[in-house]
């Protein structure tokens, strides 16, 4: 809170979701991993095939959170709301684990 009260610009509370990149030898390996990831709840997962044939499977969760807290140095939310955001982000972290 002290840092936010001293801020002169914009501040954003941001929680980034889990991401795991796996380099796969065969496309069928990536497809199998993709199916497992989707079935496990990682709905933003996908497969990328690069120009050189490099196959990358990305396991991604949907547990993101991004909320503005201040604008031009003016705090826009209460301390109670920030505490709520921290609890929500910690819950999302537990879901990632």
Average pLDDT over residues 64-75: 92
Give me the domain span that covers residue 3.
1-15+62-96
Q: Are residues 41 and 66 in the same domain?
A: no
Q: Are residues 54 and 21 in the same domain?
A: yes
Q: Are residues 56 and 85 in the same domain?
A: no
* 49-60: pLDDT as tens digits: 999 999 999 999
pTM: 0.69
- pLDDT at 6 exceeding the cut of 90: no
Separation CA 46–CA 72 (nearest Å):
38
Average pLDDT, the chain: 92
Angstrom distances, CA of residue 65 to CA of 15, 51, 53, 61: 5, 33, 34, 12
């Amino acid at each position: 809170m002290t840092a936010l009260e001293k801020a002169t610009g914009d501040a954003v509370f941001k929680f980034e979701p889990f991401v795991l990149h796996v380099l796969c030898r065969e496309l069928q390996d990536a497809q199998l991993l993709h199916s497992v990831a989707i079935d496990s709840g990682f709905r933003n997962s996908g497969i990328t095939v690069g120009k050189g044939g490099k196959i990358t499977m990305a396991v991604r969760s949907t547990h993101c959170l991004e909320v503005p807290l201040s604008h031009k140095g003016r705090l826009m939310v209460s301390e109670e709301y920030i505490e709520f955001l921290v609890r929500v982000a910690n819950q999302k972290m537990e879901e990632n684990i």
